[in-house]
């Protein structure tokens, strides 16, 4: 399937398979990168999502969705070194969306019977044992995200600002308010 | 005060890590990701796009030559028969150009419609069958991976969900060949020692010549959400048009296989990776050599330390300065923002678009 017409593209034969070859190469790179990133960072990303959405299964779903998205958009990702960055942002955004959706659902779905704990509640029970985690989930979403990214993912303020799409000053203020609120709650409980 | 604050920060850090340590993710995460990635789109669509681009180039060349010829004709005709026929020829040239553009446009649009997808998938099946491969799976196009937050919301219901009735998925060279890490799938999180990018066993399954494995595609929210009228769940033609002479046991029952673990691609050169869940023979079915001239070499010959991203080719996205682009513009409002150096994508990719505004801001307190 080679076009040898001289008037086409600079006299160069056109192969149909060129595009396919490039796509395959990109796919292979994406596969390798996805596997490597999974091996290295899957658990930490799940932990990040767990702290945000409080549900392990949902957190895993979020992280897997993020990996799929990263793989699908690999060709558009110029710098592969930023793939982890992409994943982290993806996890944060999707976790936020899950929380938002959960709030809407909680408004409309009738509450379960008190003697019928759901599976989600069972999964969350372990997390809720920690007073710190409970207090963390009492914070506003943005403050919670800042704290989790700061003290669990160990990101700098600039990195948090980039990941959340806010300014550094906003990150600082969110972190300060969150720490104040958290301290008040914990001291009150103590 | 700062000492107290530092202690408090350490306390918070320890509490967060302790809470996360108690939550152990399941070990089959990579298999699930791989199952989602094996939703069949790449091979037929890649073939179609390659053919379309080739046809477009040829058509452009032909149109150029025809246009040049038509430009020469009116002069002669004008000399002979006057201006009337010259106008007629000009009109004819215009109509010809418009017709050609219309045909190309129709072909392009047909690829976006469900019927077009169906046709594409069947064409892919035909190509595969000609090349000795297995039939293409569903006619689902373009799983861009953006499932939105809703998928996560329904994660409890669909978690781990590999519906057994799902059709067979084509095991495409890249997307389907995610290899499972050999030792453990969920190592300690940010630990650097656990990083094992692309060991040979994992690379082995990325061979492009691998036949499509009959892996069950799980309940994939991204694909189903992005393709509303996709004929993927009920596309028996792909499975029924399986003339694949593949001796692979997975390939013999492409559509009826409902194994919860998607069979990975088996490369002709694949080493017996421990992650391979299907004991396929090494050389299952020959690659469609006659129909796949661009079949890259087997992945096992690729170096294990291949830089993954430096060879990202032919990005259709308009390149601009690589800036951080928090993503929220587009159909997937939960699309991630791109990393700072990620290329800015067109509006079709919310995950990498450059729109920094995030609608999720409303969720914040």
- What whole-number percentage of chain B has pLDDT above 70? 28
Average pLDDT, integer, range B142-157: 37
CB contact under 8 A, B46 and A19: yes
Give dist(CA B124, CA A68) in Å, integer.
23
Q: Which residues of chain A make contact with B21, given a CB cutoff of 8 A?
A: 47
State the ipTM, two decimals. Answer: 0.72
Q: Which residues of chain B make contact with A32, given a CB cutoff of 8 A?
A: 197-198, 202-203, 206, 306, 308
For B178-224, how does the pLDDT look when each residue is reduced to its tens digit (9 = 90+)? 444 443 344 333 333 333 333 333 333 333 333 333 343 443 433 33
CB contact under 8 A, B339 and A89: yes
The DSSP-derived string for B275-313 is T--S---SS-S---TTT-TTPPPPGGGS-TT--SSTT--
Give dist(CA B34, CA B28) in Å, integer.
10
Closest to B158 measured CA to CA, from B27, B32, B24: B32
Average pLDDT, integer, range B343-364: 37
Q: Which residues of chain A make contact with B294, given a CB cutoff of 8 A?
A: 15-18, 20-21, 24
- Taking every pair of Cα atoms in chain B, the longest distance, rounded to a whole number of angstroms, is 99
The DSSP-derived string for B98-157 is HHHHHHHHHHHHHTTSHHHHHHHHHHHHHHHHHTT-PPP--------S--HHHHHHTHHH
C-beta of residue B246 within 8 angstroms of C-beta of residue B134: yes
For B291-331, how does the pLDDT look when each residue is reduced to its tens digit (9 = 90+)? 433 444 443 333 333 333 333 333 333 333 333 333 333 33
Give dist(CA B264, CA B250) in Å, integer.
10
Give dist(CA B99, CA B108) in Å, integer.
14
Instruction: Specify which of B61-75, B272-286, B340-354 reaches the highest per-range mean pLDDT.
Output: B61-75
Could you say which residues of chain A have pLDDT below 50? Answer: 1-10, 14
Q: Sign of the C-alpha dihedral, residues A101, A105, A106, A108?
A: positive
Confidence of residue B280 (pLDDT cuts 50, 70, 90): very low
Residues 127-166 of A with CB under 8 A from B: 127, 130, 132-133, 136, 139-143, 145, 147-148, 151-152, 154, 162-165
Which chain B residue shows the shortest CA-CA distance from A2? B54
Q: Which residues of chain A make contact with B11, given a CB cutoff of 8 A?
A: 132
A175 touches chain B (CB under 8 A): no
CB contact under 8 A, A39 and B181: yes
Based on its alpha-carbon atoms, the radius of gyration of chain B, rounded to whole angstroms, reads 26
CA B336 to chain A, closest CA, distance in angstroms equals 4
Which chain B residue shows the shortest CA-CA distance from A138? B365
Which chain A residue shows the shortest CA-CA distance from B38? A68
Give dist(CA A45, CA A51) in Å, integer.
10
CA A116 to chain B, closest CA, distance in angstroms equals 17
C-beta of residue A46 within 8 angstroms of C-beta of residue A56: yes
CB contact under 8 A, A40 and B187: yes
- What whole-number percentage of chain B has pLDDT above 90? 0
**pLDDT, position A37:** 86
pLDDT surpasses 60 at B107: yes
C-beta of residue B300 within 8 angstroms of C-beta of residue B203: yes
pLDDT surpasses 90 at B344: no
In chain B the first and final C-alpha atoms are separated, in Å, by: 28
CB contact under 8 A, A95 and B64: no
**pLDDT, position B30:** 83
Mean pLDDT of chain B: 52
pLDDT surpasses 50 at B284: no
**pLDDT, position B137:** 38
For B214-241, how does the pLDDT look when each residue is reduced to its tens digit (9 = 90+)? 343 443 433 333 333 333 433 333 433 3
Which chain B residue shows the shortest CA-CA distance from A68? B145
Give dist(CA B55, CA B38) in Å, integer.
28
């Amino acid at each position: 399937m080679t076009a040898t017409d001289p008037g086409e593209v600079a006299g160069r034969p056109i192969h149909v398979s060129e595009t396919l070859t490039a796509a395959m190469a990109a796919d292979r790179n994406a596969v390798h990168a996805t596997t490597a990133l999974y091996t290295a960072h899957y658990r930490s990303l799940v932990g990040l999502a767990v702290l945000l959405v409080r549900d392990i299964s949902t957190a895993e779903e979020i992280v897997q969705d993020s990996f799929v998205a990263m793989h699908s958009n690999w060709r558009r990702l110029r710098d592969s070194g930023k793939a982890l960055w992409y994943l982290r942002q993806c996890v944060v955004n999707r976790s936020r969306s899950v929380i938002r959706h959960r709030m809407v659902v909680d408004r409309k779905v009738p509450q379960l019977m008190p003697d019928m704990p759901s599976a989600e509640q069972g999964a969350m029970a372990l997390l809720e044992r920690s007073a710190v985690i409970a207090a963390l989930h009492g914070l506003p979403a943005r403050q919670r995200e800042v704290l989790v990214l700061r003290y669990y993912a160990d990101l700098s303020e600039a990195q948090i600002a980039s990941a959340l799409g806010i300014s550094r000053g906003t990150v600082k203020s969110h972190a300060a308010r969150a720490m104040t609120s958290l301290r008040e709650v914990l001291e009150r409980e103590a | 005060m700062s000492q107290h604050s530092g202690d408090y920060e350490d306390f918070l850090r320890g509490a967060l890590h302790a809470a996360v340590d108690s939550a152990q993710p399941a070990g089959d995460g990579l298999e699930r990701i791989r199952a989602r990635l094996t939703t069949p789109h790449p091979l037929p669509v890649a073939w179609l796009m390659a053919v379309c681009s080739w046809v477009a180039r040829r058509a452009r060349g032909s149109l150029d030559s025809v246009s040049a010829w038509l430009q020469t004709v009116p002069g002669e005709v004008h000399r002979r028969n006057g201006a009337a026929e010259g106008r007629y020829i000009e009109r004819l040239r215009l109509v010809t150009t418009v017709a050609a553009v219309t045909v190309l446009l129709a072909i392009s649009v047909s690829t976006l419609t469900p019927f077009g997808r169906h046709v594409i998938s069947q064409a892919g099946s035909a190509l595969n069958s000609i090349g000795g491969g297995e039939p293409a799976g569903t006619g689902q196009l373009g799983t861009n991976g953006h499932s939105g937050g809703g998928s996560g919301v329904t994660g409890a219901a669909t978690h781990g969900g590999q519906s057994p009735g799902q059709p067979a998925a084509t095991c495409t060279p890249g997307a389907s060949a995610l290899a499972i890490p050999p030792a453990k799938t969920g190592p300690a999180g940010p630990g650097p020692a656990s990083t094992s990018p692309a060991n040979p066993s994992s690379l082995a399954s990325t061979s492009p010549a691998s036949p499509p494995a009959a892996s069950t595609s799980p309940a994939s929210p991204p694909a189903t959400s992005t393709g509303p009228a996709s004929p993927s769940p009920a596309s028996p033609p792909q499975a029924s048009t399986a003339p694949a002479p593949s001796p692979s046991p997975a390939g013999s029952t492409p559509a009826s296989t409902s194994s919860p673990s998607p069979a990975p691609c088996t490369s002709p050169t694949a080493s017996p990776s421990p992650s391979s869940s299907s004991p396929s023979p090494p050389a299952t079915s020959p690659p469609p050599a006659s129909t796949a001239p661009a079949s890259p070499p087997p992945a096992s010959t690729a170096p294990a330390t291949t830089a993954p991203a430096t060879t990202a080719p032919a990005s259709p996205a308009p390149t601009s300065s690589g800036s951080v682009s928090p993503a929220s513009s587009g159909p997937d409002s939960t699309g991630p923002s791109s990393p700072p150096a990620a290329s800015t994508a067109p509006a079709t990719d919310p995950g990498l678009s450059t729109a920094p505004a995030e609608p999720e801001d409303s969720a914040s307190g």
